[in-house]
Amino acid sequence: MASDNDYCLQGSSKYCIFSVLIAKALTFPMERKNTTFNGFKNRTFLAIVLTLITSVVMIPGMATYLPFHKNDAIGLPTLFFPFIWTALFIYSYMAKSVTKVWLVMATLILIHIACIYFALSAE
Amino acid sequence: MLFIAIILTTIGIFSLNRDGALTNKISNQVFGTAINFAALILFCNLYGLARGFFIFLAMFALLGMCVTFLRGYQKRA
Amino acid sequence: MKSITIKKLYTLHSWVGLITGILLFVIAFSGAVAVFTRPELKIWSNQEIRAEIPIQSHKIENTIEQYAQKVGPDYLEEVHIRLPSARLSETARVIYEGHFETPEGGEEHKGTVFEFHPLNWSLVSKNDMDTFFELEKYDMSTFLAHFHADLHLGRPVGLILTGLLGLTLMVSIVTGLFIHRKILAQLFTFRVSKTFSLMLNDGHKVMSVWAVLFHSVIAFTGAFLGLATVILVPAAAYVGFNGDQEKLLETFTAIKAPIVANVAQPTKLADIIDISIQKRPDLTFDNVAIMGYGDQNALVYISGDGSEQLGGETLVFHGATAEYIRTQANFGRLEGVTGKILDAMFPLHFGNFGGLLVKCIWAILGLSTALVPITGLMLWIERGLNAQNPTHSKRTYQNFNKLLIGSCGGIVLATVALFIAQLIFDKTLPEQDHTSLIFKTFFGVWLGAIILPFVIKQALALKIIILGSGLLMVLIMPLDGLFTGSHVFNVFETQHYVSVSVDLTMLFLGTLLLVSYNKMSQQRHELSTTSVPQTAIEREA
């Protein structure tokens, strides 16, 4: 347990969008280079922007293929949203390769946009 | 009945403790779980299944926290 | 699990905590107080509703009929009544609503809102529906409830922010569970006698782990409630309802409009209310919705809380005959599981499903949700100040500590100050709208408290904030007695049981805070005289 504590904020958060804002306000100096995450800028963009887009697009997308009653097919994706967002957010930072994260998110977005497109054009 | 349910939950939590850790003794674990299960049934009987379940979980969390904090202060005293 | 993975999770946990910690405390603390805003604090802050209010079914029926004549038949499609007996608002509110076609072919809802005195049903105000909801008046209880919901940043910005905080709390919980995965080995461990850092560490873990399910439920429901109207409903309506959000809400809503027969027949409201009370004495009825008022096919929905159903129940009646049709849950009547989950969502977040006991548990656990990020931040500061080779400069940690004291202590002080302010405004400016004064008091006190540690010694600032909060809490009871004449000695006469209980609770909490602070000061004094090392935070202070 004690060794876990040593990890506390070893990396710099100067690349994080939110951190920069807070850092300026607090004159928060960033003194070390990030050694924990590779492609930190990319990952932060993925975690903050693309995660939100993906999880939002997945709500109407999932409604088209979930094999439930209509109420559940529409309602359940909205209830899944917090879990999907959390999973994608953590995945953005934890995945070994940033490219893989990009690929996963892009695939999810494309598949769900296609589902939405076919569902709307079929009506 | 509510009072008994709270007491049972407290006893159940106490029996799960062994020197600040979750007990390793299977008999204590079984006893603690059984007592807590009895408390859960009492809560469900009082409040209905869904409400009783959530109230038990909340009570378990609250009492667990209280027991741990009080144990800490007691040890210091 | 690989150490690099744990390291990544730890870093992520720390960053999320650092960025959202203070805001999370603000939201969680205000949430712990907001548990009691309806009806306890509402009752406390409005003298007219401090005593119990009987349901006057015939008076209600007569008033509704009288004003229905005034508004005209176009506004009788929906009549919504907030019953004063539930004491959820300072007035009895009646909305007459009609649906009108727009030139573009759409539908527009227009209405008139009447507010009546809760006891004698005399008219207090009349407003256009849009104006009424735009110019919402706040007393301290409504202010606190709305502050928790959107921080008074307006909608949708405030809602999105609180929703996102729910999401980041979920991230903190998941990452925390992984990094403290061996926590069961220390489940009952809280070491007070060792170092301050260790105590913070133990406290952080104890509050996190024991209440992990509660934190998770609050994070999930908070994220859902914050983002539901802004992101989730529009997104869900996109495919299923071709973007028509109203249609989606109509499908999921519990109150359906009947097919109007256009045959006039009085709606037997008094009978319906009396039957409901007789039929379900376990429910506290708060709202009545009449669809198609005065029509042969009118439907009356009377909702109440207090039964075994998590999300409350609605009794449905035939308006013209007062014939009972069915009892339904809010969303639970829908096919599938979504409705049942949605019904559980609101009470699980607000803790209003099991009386005062559950509210108290929710408030205490809510305080633990607030304290978890604070202990985490304090731990970070403490370690930073103690470290041989810290990541940031000493000044950064000191400034962060000052911000922590000011913003978190300040929110407690500002909340308590609202109680005193409400009493003073009611006494000195009766019959006036106190909304702007409530805003100024709260944000003024909070801002002052944030600035305080930066202009005076932070130890002194902390002392002022804690002692100020404690003293104000203790003052509430005597001031209330002095200004309103309602106190513990005449409680059986006035029957102000709820408000006197609030006074007593605040007195107890204030005394507890002052005594605890005094005890802590003494201990600190003893430690300093026996030259035991102080905490890094204290040394820096």
For residue range C210-243, what is the model confidence (pLDDT) as tens digits?
A: 999 999 999 999 999 999 888 888 888 777 776 6
Q: Clarify whether residues C416 and C535 are in a common domain.
A: yes
Using the 3D structure, point to which of C276, C306, C329 is the last residue of a domain: C329
* pLDDT of A34 higher than 90: no
Selecting from B17, B21, B55 the residue whose C-beta is nearest the C-beta of C354 gives B55
- The residue out of C329, C356, C374 marking a domain boundary is C329
Which pLDDT belongs to residue C538? 58
Cβ–Cβ pairs < 8 A, chains A and C: 157
Residue C518 located in a structural domain: yes
Quick check: do B and A touch, 3+ CB pairs under 8 A? no
Residue C169 lies in a domain: no
**Are both C310 and C411 inside the same structural domain?**
no
Chain A contact present for C253, CB below 8 A = no
Q: Which H or E run includes C317?
A: strand C313-318
Q: Provide mean pLDDT across the span C521-525.
A: 78
HSE-up of residue C158 (Cα within 13 Å, Cβ side): 11
C336 to chain A, any CB pair closer than 8 A? The answer is yes
The tens digit of pLDDT for each residue in C183-208 reads: 777 888 898 877 888 889 999 999 99
CB contact under 8 A, C362 and B58: yes
- Give yes or no: residues C274 and C128 share one domain: yes
- Give CA–CA dist C331/C338, Å, rounded: 8
Distance separating alpha carbons of residues B63 and B61, to the nearest angstrom: 6
Residue C403 has pLDDT above 90, yes or no: yes
Establish if C166 belongs to a structural domain.
Answer: no
Residue C424 covered by a domain? yes
**Same domain for C415 and C315:** no
DSSP one-letter code for B22? E
User: Is the CB of residue C291 less than 8 Å from the CB of residue C261?
Assistant: no
Distance CA C398, CA B33 (A): 46
Label residue C139 left, alpha or beta by phi (over 0 means left) and psi (-120 to 50 means alpha). Answer: beta
Q: Within a 13 Å sphere around the CA of A120, how many CA atoms are in the beta-carbon half?
A: 14
Closest chain B residue to C210, measured at CA: B61
Q: What is the mean pLDDT of chain C?
A: 90
Residues C410 and C305 in one domain: no
Residues C419, C527, single domain; the answer is yes
Measured CA to CA in angstroms, residue C246 lies from A69, C157, C234, C241 at distances of 20, 21, 10, 9
Average pLDDT for chain A? 78
C282-288 LR contacts (CB < 8 Å, sep 24+): C282/C306, C282/C307, C283/C307, C283/C312, C283/C313, C284/C85, C284/C86, C285/C55, C285/C83, C285/C85, C285/C86, C286/C82, C286/C83, C286/C86, C286/C88, C287/C80, C287/C81, C287/C82, C287/C83, C288/C80, C288/C81, C288/C83
Q: Predicted confidence band at A3 (pLDDT cuts at 50, 70, 90)?
A: very low
- For the ranges C134-143, C468-477, C511-520, the one whose mean pLDDT is highest: C468-477
Number of domains comprising chain C: 2
- Quote the CA–CA distance of C276 and C303 in Å, as a whole number: 10
| C-alpha angle C112-C133-C327 in degrees, rounded to nearest 5 | 75
Chain C nearest-CA residue for A22? C19
Task: Name the strands in the sheet holding C284-291, side by side, starting at the edge strand that comes first in the sequence.
Answer: C123-128, C107-116, C92-101, C78-82, C284-291, C299-305, C313-318, C323-329
SS3 of residue C320 by DSSP = coil
> Do C312 and C446 belong together in one domain?
no
So what's the pLDDT on residue C4?
83
Residues C323 and C434 occupy one common structural domain:
no
C526 belongs to a structural domain: yes
Whether C203 maps to a domain, the answer reads no
Q: Which residues of A touch C239 (CB under 8 A)?
A: 60-61, 63-64, 116, 119-120
* Same-domain pairing of C127 and C259: yes
Write out chain B residues lying below 8 Å of C210, CB-based: 61-62, 64-65, 68
CA distance C353 to C306: 7
Could you give the CA distance from residue B61 to residue C507 in angstroms, rounded to a whole number?
A: 26
Model confidence over C442-499: pLDDT tens digits?
999 999 999 999 999 989 999 999 999 999 999 999 999 999 999 999 999 999 999 9
Q: Is the pLDDT of residue C383 over 60?
A: yes
Q: Cβ separation of B55 and C214 shorter than 8 Å?
A: no
| Alpha-carbon gap: C210 to the closest alpha carbon of chain B (Å) | 5
- Chains touching A (3+ CB pairs < 8 Å): C
Which amino acid, C309?
Q
- For residue A104, what pLDDT band results from cuts at 50, 70 and 90? very high
Domain boundary among C276, C308, C329: C329
The predicted-structure confidence for C80-99, as pLDDT tens digits, reads as follows: 999 999 999 999 999 999 99
Question: CA distances (Å), C93 to each of A100, C133, C272, in order?
Answer: 56, 12, 18
pLDDT of residue A26: 41
What angle (nearest 5°) sits at the alpha carbon of residue C98, between those of residues C234 and C125? 105
Q: What is the pLDDT of residues B5-42, one digit of tens each?
A: 999 999 999 999 888 888 888 999 999 999 999 999 99
pLDDT band at A25; cut points 50, 70, 90? very low
Of C70-79, C234-243, C415-424, C495-504, give the lowest mean pLDDT range: C234-243
Q: Are residues C299 and C429 in the same domain?
A: no
Structural domain for C496, as ranges: 392-541
Tell me how many helices (H) and strands (E) chain C has.
20, 8
Can you give the pLDDT at residue C214? 97
Per-residue pLDDT of A41-90, as tens digits, reads 889 999 999 999 999 999 999 989 999 888 888 889 999 999 999 999 99
Same domain? C260 vs C117: yes
Residue C485 is assigned to a structural domain of this protein: yes
- The pLDDT value recorded for residue C172 is 96
CA C194 to chain CA centroid, Å, is 37
Q: Is residue C173 part of a domain?
A: no
Contact C187 B48 (CB under 8 A): no
| pLDDT average, residue stretch C92-110 | 89
> How many Å apart are CA A47 and CA A87, to the nearest integer?
10
Q: Is the dihedral of CA C516, C517, C522, C527 positive or negative?
A: positive
Q: What does the pLDDT read at residue B77?
A: 63
- With contact defined as beta carbons under 8 Å apart, do A56 and C231 qualify? yes
